């Protein structure tokens, strides 16, 4: 959102740019990606957000290791157990002990509602350690291990930093695993969007004429259909018998089938204006082939715009997946995504007893927010010559 200052001259003035090129020889010869990077670095908000995006990515990649336990490890005794605060200094029992720990629970049954009510038991102490042994898992599906970044030092104990769900599963671990699925849906979806958008937008913009008209009609048509009912209709068509992986890809394809239109419009617009540029004409007169003109001369000149559009498309993918899964029409358990997690908080009663089940929503909001900031930053820096 940062706003560029106009050069201090009349609108048509070009002197400051020429002048800058003359006084700072470095600017004049820097490749485009470097110029973009220099400008991007000036956006403080975008830089901070980029760090967050990186953290999210790391959490997604190392989910098995970072989670205190596995997402499916359940405990019937811990239904809707509330979050446990992490303590560092223990002054109970006279002496002072350092080191992270949480308090245990005592649970009583409410005589009227028969619901289990948990209370933190100050006298119980569950030590928490780093790089502890715990629930065994297979890193990335093929490296067996039982080391967890954080967890109870005694593998028999259970800790719930962010509380538990209906089956006593650890919400933190589930959110961490959900990060992988939700972010990767965004990435895979955007990759598909990219292919559709570049190819169709490029064809539309480069050839123009009747091809362009046809593709534009299709885009207008797709944009005129209300997205959510269309998504709902398409995902309802995904057979229930399909496995998690097939459903995952089906949902991703559905999201990108509708999402490519924006990118295609951006690419088309750029192509249309570039087609008239002198350097494209020069390349054509030099006898360059069409693919070469497109790939070597036209694409590089607006690749930063494409990257910006793609960055901005990821959060929309994430939001869409979350919405679909929330309705029960997207990913299905046992696959864990943020949307699937939020599905559990659909009714008022659950939210009233276990409001921490809304926490996956916080993950969604923060992820979407930082991705938006980064995308805006890239877009603002995308045109370093402006």
Rounded (5°) CA angle 105-106-107: 110
The least CB distance from residue 284 to another protein, in Å, is 29
Selected from 294, 319, 336, 341, the binder of another protein by CB under 8 A is 319
323 within 8 A of 340, measured Cβ to Cβ: no
Place of tokens 């740019």: 17
Strand partners, 116: 109
Q: Which is nearer to another protein, 143 or 366 (CB)?
A: 366
Selected from 168, 269, 328, 333, the binder of another protein by CB under 8 A is 328
Selected from 58, 223, 281, 295, the binder of another protein by CB under 8 A is 223
Q: Which is nearer to another protein, 22 or 195 (CB)?
A: 22
Q: Which is nearer to another protein, 173 or 345 (CB)?
A: 345
Which among 358, 364, 362, 355 is positioned nearest to 80, based on CA atoms? 355
Burial-class residue 308 by CB neighbours within 10 Å (0-12, 13-18, 19+): buried
108 binding another protein? (CB under 8 A)? no
DSSP E strands, 110-196: 116-139, 143-152
Distance CA 81, CA 64 (A): 22
114 binding another protein? (CB under 8 A)? no
Distance CA 95, CA 170 (A): 32
Say how many residues touch another protein, by CB under 8 A: 59
214 binding another protein? (CB under 8 A)? no
Selected from 111, 209, 239, 287, the binder of another protein by CB under 8 A is 239
Selected from 100, 333, 361, 384, the binder of another protein by CB under 8 A is 361
DSSP state of 355: G
171 within 8 A of 357, measured Cβ to Cβ: yes
229 binding another protein? (CB under 8 A)? yes
Distance CA 292, CA 295 (A): 5
Name the one range near another protein by CB under 8 A: 63-71, 115-123, 158-166, 218-226: 218-226
Selected from 245, 348, 385, 386, the binder of another protein by CB under 8 A is 348
* Cβ neighbours around 214 below 10 Å, total: 12
Distance CA 133, CA 307 (A): 41
Name the one range near another protein by CB under 8 A: 116-124, 166-174, 268-276, 319-327: 319-327
236 binding another protein? (CB under 8 A)? yes
**Strand order through the sheet with 87-90:** 87-90, 97-109, 116-139, 143-152
List binders of another protein among 15-54 (CB under 8 A): 15-16, 18-20, 22-23
Selected from 125, 351, 383, 384, the binder of another protein by CB under 8 A is 351
306 within 8 A of 199, measured Cβ to Cβ: no
368 binding another protein? (CB under 8 A)? yes
The least CB distance from residue 360 to another protein, in Å, is 9
Selected from 200, 264, 329, 378, the binder of another protein by CB under 8 A is 329
- Greatest alpha-carbon span in the chain: 88
Selected from 179, 193, 322, 332, the binder of another protein by CB under 8 A is 322
342 binding another protein? (CB under 8 A)? yes
| Cis bond upstream, residue 334 (ω within 30) | yes
The least CB distance from residue 223 to another protein, in Å, is 7
Name the one range near another protein by CB under 8 A: 55-63, 152-160, 167-175, 367-375: 367-375
The three-state (H, E, C) secondary structure of 320-350, written as one string: HHHHHHHCCCCCCCCCCCHHHHHHCCCCHHH
330 within 8 A of 339, measured Cβ to Cβ: yes
Which chain residues interact with another protein by CB under 8 A? 1, 3, 5-6, 8-16, 18-20, 22-23, 217, 220-221, 223-230, 232-234, 236-237, 239, 315, 319, 322-323, 326-329, 342, 345-346, 348, 351-352, 355, 358, 361, 364-366, 368-369, 372-373
């Amino acid at each position: 959102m940062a706003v560029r200052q106009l050069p201090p001259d009349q609108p048509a003035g070009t002197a400051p740019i020429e002048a800058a090129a003359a006084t700072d020889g470095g600017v004049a010869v820097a490749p485009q990606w470097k110029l973009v990077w220099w400008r991007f670095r000036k956006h403080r908000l975008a830089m901070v957000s980029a760090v967050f995006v990186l953290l999210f990515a790391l959490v997604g990649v190392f989910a098995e290791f970072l989670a205190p336990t596995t997402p499916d490890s359940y405990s019937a005794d811990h239904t809707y157990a509330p979050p446990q605060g992490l303590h560092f200094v223990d002054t109970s029992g006279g002496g002072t002990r350092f080191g992270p720990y949480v308090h245990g629970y005592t649970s009583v049954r409410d005589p009227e509602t028969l619901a289990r009510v948990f209370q933190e038991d100050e006298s119980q102490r569950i030590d928490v350690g780093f790089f502890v042994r715990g629930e065994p898992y297979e890193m990335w599906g093929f490296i067996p291990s039982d080391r967890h970044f954080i967890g109870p030092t005694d593998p028999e104990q259970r800790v719930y930093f962010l509380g538990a769900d209906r089956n006593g599963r650890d919400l933190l671990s589930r959110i961490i695993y959900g990060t992988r699925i939700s972010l990767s849906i965004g990435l895979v979806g955007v990759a598909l969007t990219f292919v559709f958008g570049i190819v169709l937008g490029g064809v539309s913009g480069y050839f123009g004429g009747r091809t362009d008209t046809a593709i534009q009609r299709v885009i207008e048509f797709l944009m005129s259909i209300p997205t959510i009912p269309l998504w709902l209709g398409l995902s309802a068509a995904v057979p229930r018998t399909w496995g998690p992986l097939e459903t995952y890809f089906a949902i991703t394809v559905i999201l990108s089938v509708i999402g490519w239109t924006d990118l295609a419009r951006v690419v088309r617009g750029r192509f249309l204006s570039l087609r008239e540029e002198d350097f494209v004409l020069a390349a054509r007169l030099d006898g360059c082939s069409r693919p070469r003109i497109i790939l070597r001369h036209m694409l590089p000149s607006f690749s930063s715009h494409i990257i910006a559009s793609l960055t901005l498309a990821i959060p929309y993918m994430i939001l869409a997946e979350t919405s679909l899964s929330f309705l029960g029409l997207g990913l299905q358990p046992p696959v864990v995504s943020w949307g699937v997690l939020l599905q559990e908080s659909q009714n008022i009663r659950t939210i009233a007893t276990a409001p921490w089940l809304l926490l996956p929503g916080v993950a969604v909001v923060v992820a979407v927010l930082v991705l938006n900031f980064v995308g805006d930053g890239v877009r603002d820096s995308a045109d370093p010559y402006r």
